[in-house]
Structure 1
Amino acid sequence: MTAPLPDDATLTQSGAEIAAPTASILILACGALAREILAILRTNGWSHVTLQCLPAIWHNHPERITPAIEKAVTEARATYSQIFVAYADCGTGGQLEAACARLGVEMIAGPHCYSFFEGNDAFAAHAEDEITTFYLTDFLARQFDAFVWTPLGLDRYPQLLETYFGHYEKLVYLAQTDDDALTKKARDCATRMGLTFERRFTGYGDLATALEPLAAPAAKPG
């Protein structure tokens, strides 16, 4: 697992594969999770795992996720003994969960990455009290313009800010790392949106828990 990670802009557009030569397990993941998953793999020394990322920009196009996962799982079955899908529902309306059940592969529980980073139980406990909250992760703090500002047209039509976010009250930065520069970026995002700012350190949350069963190498298909 020594291959360099493509930058976030690359993952946004085209996805990436970071392969281990002795891998027997494949993780199919959203590119927005690549840094965090690689950190978990490297920390644990899991050289038997390959990470393949689908484009992170599909965060804005959830209808593309399920067909792409179905195709990727079908293509990878002959190579890997186990495939894990590192997505939550992510706006697919239950379609991804149904596809994974049909294909016989596991996926991350929860509605989206904000929930599983904080911990699904913790997030659900206060979800109703935060319906006017906008969330950022480390990835979105880095890529705020590419994923939020520009796709919504706010770089060209700033008057739309009130239309999109007039009912929001605060921005919560769910931080996976202790990074002062990222915290500043997140705070700047809140300022641009006219929202109050809150930072919560989550670490990897339920993502790390979901990957724990991959610790033992699986035998490759014969």
Structure 2
Amino acid sequence: MQLSDAQLTTEGLEAEGHGRILLIACGALAHEILALKRANGWDHMDLQCLPAKLHLYPEKITQEVAAAVTAHRADYARIFVVYADCGTGGLLQAKCAELGVEMVAGPHCYAFYEGLDRFAAHDDEISAFYLTDFLVRQFDAFVWKPMGLDRHPELRDMIFGNYTKLVYQAQTDDASLRAKAESCAARLGLAYEYRFTGYGDLKTSLEEQAVKL
């Protein structure tokens, strides 16, 4: 399946087929989830992705996830929500509990990619700006343009003045993405740190779901 980041940002991905389990996920996780499905032969798991751009409006995430669950629950034995809290202030977790579906644990994808315990151990997390593979590829669409830096670069120091570094959490070992991430750090005037996380707790969460009947 060939998916463009632009499609995943603005349109998401509709589920195909009727496997036993439906994963409702953020479009920013699509490539990683599909890679895990292929590698592990999880053909009984279908994937539907909501547009990644919802992260620009986190107050909309809960209602969109709830609508997707309601639309598809009759077609699947189980639904698993592949979002963390993602800026919903606990509302998504409460809604998933109300709907009787499970979701990924953690505050956001940066934490579950690195592993919740390892992420929590960093004492400078509050002053770090994080990018994943998807966000490196979509840096202009998710950071530079929405924050108005393409039109008003003088806003950079005001917006990022309290950050000390950019942390690139890499899911894949890709030299071109490393170079682009380092360039992103330079554009923001931040120090650069590279961490290879792989799939982290995303992988273990999906493994747990894959074996549930």
The residue number in structure 2 matching 1:7 is 4
Distance 2:40 2:15 in 1: 16
Q: How far apart are 1:22 and its partner, in Å?
A: 5.0
Matches within 5 A, 1:146-185: 146-185=141-180
Distance 1:28 1:22 in 2: 13
Question: Quick one: percent identity of the two aligned structures?
Answer: 62
| Secondary structure in structure 1 of the residue aligned to 2:74 | coil
The residue number in structure 2 matching 1:192 is 187
Distance 1:46 1:5 in 2: 18
| Secondary structure in structure 1 of the residue aligned to 2:121 | helix
The residue number in structure 2 matching 1:131 is 126
The residue number in structure 2 matching 1:98 is 94
User: Taking structure 2 as the reference length, what is the TM-score of the superposition?
Assistant: 0.97
Gaps of 5+ in 2: none
Matches within 5 A, 1:26-45: 26-45=22-41
User: Taking structure 1 as the reference length, what is the TM-score of the superposition?
Assistant: 0.93
Gaps of 5+ in 1: none
| Secondary structure in structure 2 of the residue aligned to 1:134 | strand
Distance 1:22 1:16 in 2: 15
Distance 1:160 1:62 in 2: 22
Distance 1:184 1:42 in 2: 28
Aligned match for 1:116, one of 112, 115, 122: 112
| Secondary structure in structure 2 of the residue aligned to 1:171 | strand
Aligned pairs, how many?
Answer: 213
2:20/2:77 contact within 8 Å kept = yes
Q: How far apart are 1:168 and its partner, in Å?
A: 1.3
Runs of 4+ in 1 over 3 A off after TM superposition: none
| Secondary structure in structure 1 of the residue aligned to 2:32 | helix
1:172/1:199 contact within 8 Å kept = yes
How big is each residue's C-alpha offset from its partner over 1:87-115, in whole Å with a ceiling of 9 and x where there is no partner? 00000000000001111111000000000
Distance 2:196 2:146 in 1: 27
| Secondary structure in structure 1 of the residue aligned to 2:3 | coil
Distance 2:127 2:208 in 1: 35
The residue number in structure 2 matching 1:85 is 81
